[in-house]
Structure 1
Amino acid sequence: MIELHNEDKMPLYEQLYATLADEIRSGTRAPGTPLPGRRTMAAQLGISVNTVDAAYQMLAAEGLAEARPRSGFYVQKTYGMLHSPAARPKTAPPSLVPVSERPRFDLSTGSVDTALFPARSWGRIQKEQLYQRPELLQRGEMQGDESLRVQIARYLSAYRGVDCTPEQIVVGAGIEYLLGCVAHLFAGGRAAVENPGYSRTRVVLQNSGIDCTLVDIDQGGLSVAGLEASGANLCYLTPSHHFPTGVTMPAPRRAQILAWAAARSGRYILEDDYDSEFRFDTRPLPSLQGMAGPDGPVVYLTTFSKSLAPGIRIACMVLPRDLLARYRQDFAVYANTVSRFEQQTLCAFMADGYFTRHLARMRLVYKRRMEAFAAALRQALPGVTLGGVHSGLHFLLTLPGAGGEGAMVAAAAREGVRLRGLSEYYLARPEQCPPDTVVAGYSALREEDIPAVADALARAWIP
């Protein structure tokens, strides 16, 4: 029986098309064999006949299948002859789950509560920009509109201790894009990357010609001894809120990291200020960039994905002046990747005070949600330990005796709860991962669902 790839952002017909296309290309479905009837396939998967038909039509358009009048769809014979499994490497099939097993509750870390988005004020400002400023239809500055960079510089100075001028700021469509631009300036270099950490970071750097070496973190963040031994000239880290452990790098460790960068010419720190705006106990430590100064060896990166929404692709970086000159030389012909209407909407949103009020409201909402979720878990799961609860929008959940991380993730999925094991973020040496630990995000969790989630996890993990 066919099962659809569980990809929420992909329409059902595309999921079905992707699954069948992979089977045809790999030879699992032999040339000339019929595809299941549309009604049969729809009944099996619990989807509409129109959805199945759309997927089949895509297969036919790609030359993977052919429609035979009054007979149905068949795997294309000529495709099979030209693209036999011997001539085409067989790819691993995607992780497939039945549609009926989609999670009721998503505790992943990449989502936000869209109900908190300031749609009314954002929409009003954007509408004003659209109708009153036709000049925004023209191409803007390569680094982003100056007026927005002025607002960002003021905000970063006031709330993150970043020491820079608007000229040092580059606006771009997401951290990945900006990180790729920075990596271009160091092509052929080597970067020390946190372990555990983001696999996406390593991929972006490697795709840009940077060799990556993984350095373990401890209770103070990235190991300085490991950094010294890595032979790296770049160091990527998340000192304000390490992902996924939630560790905040203390001031003495920060000074040691800065000393490493200052000890040799050509060394730089890539500071990803991940989730720094969400700290619920004390004010976060100032940025490494602020400690190093405007010409120090630190590239500061941050995004508005969590504070506004992931779909609003606005991020920024602050370059020291020596790198800024090289960036302007290499990227002089590039257009900015963020719509000027989005830029100017954010600019007005910040200039008129909406942004700081919005962040204050979000902190209160998320703090209340975190406290309610933590209390519900502690009540439902005797012996549970929660780590990193006072910063960021997720925490580590450890429950000895629940069968181990893999069993915990699988049992939670059977109860309709999606979450990930901590070991998934270990890019090397997974044996060092603390046992019985999963990563639970709560940013997209509705408060009225908290008791049901805690009960579902209790059913999953307590015999």
Structure 2
Amino acid sequence: MDYLALSLDPEQDQPLYQQLYRYLAEEIAAGRLPAGEKLPARRVAAQALGVSRNTVETAYAMLEDEGYIETRERSGQYVADVSPLVPSREIAVVPDVPPVPEAEYTFSTRSMDATLFPARTWARIEKEVLYTEPELLNHGQPQGDLALRSAIAQYLAGSRAVRCSPEQIVVGAGIEYLLGLLARLLGGRLVATEDPGYEKTAIILHNNGTPTVPVQVDGGGMSISALRESGAQVAYVTPSHQFPTGVSMPVGRRTELLGWAGENPERLIIEDDYDSEFRFDGRPIPSLQGLGGNRVVYISTFTKSIAPSIRIAYMVLPPQVLADYRRLFGSYSSTVSRFEQHTLAHFLARGHFARYLNRARSVYRRRRDLLENALIAVFGEERLEFGGTHTGLYFTVQFRLGKTEQQLIDAAAKAGVQVSGLSPYYHCSQYAPGATLVLGYASMDEEKLEQAVARLGRAFLS
């Protein structure tokens, strides 16, 4: 056999048996060693190759384990019947999309101030959980461990007037994941999404086979008359702080929306309560779910309130949806680490979350006030119209400066300030107001906010 003239190199990183195995596997796979051909005995092969018999035995054993060769009793090793591999055509790998370099000053709506997070407290609880609850290395409950679901239910009852039991809560790794599951439960029903609204919502629903239709948002949230005209059976809304306009849905509109859902047993409301923890003016408006729980799926996340990298979200399912969830996904394992679940459960139950939120609200309120006042000082109140300043970590500003929205964005970029406009969030562009920016203020401290506004002043007024 030709391979007995093979030269094995002891200087290579690969051991000798691996070199021999790889060579024979490639020859067999390519058909150069045909099926039925007998391999030399181990002793003969070892002598010819100048290696130990153990080297040949190990290579042969690996080939037999993977089906390249077979042993025939009292006869030896033979090449197995392996179909020759068809050489695969090389396909160019699409490179990663390079991250957009951040400007020196960024009014992002996606970021928060990581320095506010109580990292030492979280780390202490996480260490405690790791050392005192070794059983968490095993599988947990599919909907999330009861300890966390109970803590969430108690928190929601006190802070958002959500009426639910822990059994109704499903914990998952981010709203995107949970929304993908929820889309499957909708059974192809048409979903009304807000216009303007968060584009990713429609993308996730579409990717999971759920059709969507944009429905106009006015000063009170999603228009009920437009919702009726759309023919949708499900309404996806952000009533506490509509994204991106920042409007809150008043109680009259909320009861009207619940009335719409109650007219047909197939209708459902999905309430996305993504940043309701940060309300600065007046009392928080109770959740839509608390007004009509049997028609509302309540969904939220700790991404905004704790940190974007802590991928823990949850949804509260009404009984009929919960039954479908358990039928379809009852055997699925939870996508959140049990150690993180129990760390968060203790973080909530021991009051750390409430204390952190109080401190963060105070900081973010100061930043909101500073940004609003700085803009007025630079541009004058008559040139500005603010929206959604009462809640959340961003607000909108319409600039009456005789410039288009894109001109403002371009001018800000040249000044080293990254801003985003409101118009891209609109599906129907005729509804978009002119020259409106969406300014997130969570990721910059007071000094940087003042510097950023000063740069905007020079850029916009020149």
On whether the aligned pair clears a TM of 0.5, the verdict is yes
Partner of 1:228: helix, strand, or coil? Answer: helix
1:208: how far off? Answer: 1.2
Rounded Cα–Cα distance in structure 1 between residues aligned with 2:297 and 2:355: 28
The corresponding residue for 1:456 is 455
The corresponding residue for 1:331 is 329
Listed one character per residue, the Cα deviations across residues 134-185 of structure 1 (whole Å, up to 9, x for unaligned) are: 1111111000010111110011001100000010001111111111111101
Taking only the aligned residue pairs, the percentage that are identical comes to 49
The corresponding residue for 2:436 is 437
Partner of 1:301: helix, strand, or coil? Answer: strand
- Amino acid of the structure 2 residue aligned with 1:108: S
Answer whether contact 2:180 2:208 (CA < 8 A) is retained. Answer: yes
TM-score by length of 2: 0.78
Pairing 1:192–2:184 present: no
Rounded Cα–Cα distance in structure 2 between residues aligned with 1:157 and 1:290: 9
Answer whether contact 1:242 1:274 (CA < 8 A) is retained. Answer: no
Change (3 A) 1:459 1:266: same
The corresponding residue for 1:266 is 266
Partner of 1:350: helix, strand, or coil? Answer: helix
Pairing 1:111–2:111 present: yes
Pairing 1:321–2:319 present: yes
Answer whether contact 1:190 1:210 (CA < 8 A) is retained. Answer: yes
Change (3 A) 1:414 1:94: farther
- Amino acid of the structure 1 residue aligned with 2:291: M
Answer whether contact 1:376 1:451 (CA < 8 A) is retained. Answer: yes
1:55-70 aligned within 5 A: none
- Amino acid of the structure 2 residue aligned with 1:279: R
1:386: how far off? Answer: 2.0
Partner of 1:411: helix, strand, or coil? Answer: helix
The corresponding residue for 1:405 is 405
The corresponding residue for 1:377 is 375
Listed one character per residue, the Cα deviations across residues 246-279 of structure 1 (whole Å, up to 9, x for unaligned) are: 0000000000100010001111000001211111
Answer whether contact 2:394 2:438 (CA < 8 A) is retained. Answer: yes
Partner of 1:254: helix, strand, or coil? Answer: helix
Change (3 A) 1:96 1:326: closer
- Amino acid of the structure 1 residue aligned with 2:459: A
- Amino acid of the structure 2 residue aligned with 1:372: L
Answer whether contact 1:395 1:440 (CA < 8 A) is retained. Answer: yes
The corresponding residue for 1:394 is 394
1:83: how far off? Answer: 6.9
Structure 2: unaligned runs, 5 residues or longer: 1-88
- Amino acid of the structure 1 residue aligned with 2:197: G
Listed one character per residue, the Cα deviations across residues 393-451 of structure 1 (whole Å, up to 9, x for unaligned) are: 1011111125110010111111111111101111x211221001110000101112122
Answer whether contact 1:168 1:321 (CA < 8 A) is retained. Answer: yes
- Amino acid of the structure 1 residue aligned with 2:132: Q
The corresponding residue for 2:148 is 148
- Amino acid of the structure 2 residue aligned with 1:411: A
- Measured on the aligned residues, the alpha-carbon RMSD in Å equals 1.9
Selected match of 2:359 from 352, 358, 361 = 361
Partner of 2:314: helix, strand, or coil? Answer: strand
The corresponding residue for 2:340 is 342
- Amino acid of the structure 2 residue aligned with 1:431: Q
Rounded Cα–Cα distance in structure 2 between residues aligned with 1:431 and 1:409: 20
Partner of 1:338: helix, strand, or coil? Answer: coil
1:385: how far off? Answer: 2.4
Answer whether contact 2:109 2:439 (CA < 8 A) is retained. Answer: yes
Rounded Cα–Cα distance in structure 1 between residues aligned with 2:203 and 2:338: 29
- Amino acid of the structure 2 residue aligned with 1:241: H
Rounded Cα–Cα distance in structure 2 between residues aligned with 1:125 and 1:141: 21
1:332: how far off? Answer: 1.8
Structure 1: unaligned runs, 5 residues or longer: 1-80
- Amino acid of the structure 1 residue aligned with 2:358: A
The corresponding residue for 2:128 is 128
1:187: how far off? Answer: 3.0
Partner of 1:216: helix, strand, or coil? Answer: strand
The corresponding residue for 2:290 is 290
Answer whether contact 1:189 1:209 (CA < 8 A) is retained. Answer: no
In the alignment of these two chains, the number of paired residues is 372
Rounded Cα–Cα distance in structure 2 between residues aligned with 1:109 and 1:159: 23
Answer whether contact 1:402 1:462 (CA < 8 A) is retained. Answer: no
